[in-house]
Amino acid sequence: IKYPRRSIIVKLPVRMDDGRFEMFTGYRVQHSTVRGPAKGGIRFHPKVDLDEVQALAAWMTWKCAVVNIPFGGGKGGICCDPLKMSESELERLTRRYTASFYDTFGPETDIPAPEQSNAEPDSR
């Protein structure tokens, strides 16, 4: 389990509220699917990168195994500053991200989940 099963990097063009387009980088890592589909949140952070997402996906593998639930480890990330984005910009970014992984996400393969920092608008 030293290396992830799958690591994907995508570019995400998103129309901002002022009409211009901005390019974001998104990541999805499936660390292990031995115990079941990969499961893990999506981190929105200005300094998120592939190394961090891979480490967090590995950590999720171990967390699921320790509590004996039938999931493997996965994690996603989008390099952005959510504190500087409007709610509609974040929605467009999230929709672009999920559309980019339409062939990756699914109940038998990879289950995305919100991160606590993304779950409630008041936490921004």
Q: Give the tens place of pLDDT for each residue, 97-114.
A: 999 999 999 999 999 987
Q: Which one is catalytic: 47, 63, 75, 84?
A: 75
SS3 call for 8: strand
- Using one digit for the tens of pLDDT, what is the confidence trace for 24-65? 999 999 999 999 999 999 999 999 999 999 999 999 999 999
Alpha-carbon span 55 to 121, nearest angstrom:
26
Which of the 8 DSSP states describes residue 34? S
Q: Enter the pTM of the model.
A: 0.90
Q: Which domains does the chain have, with CATH numbers?
A: 6-123 (3.40.50.10860)
Q: Which residue has the tokens 């996603």?
A: 76
Which pLDDT score is estimated for 115? 75
Residues 6+ apart with CB under 8 A from 20: none
Mark whether 63 is an active-site residue. no
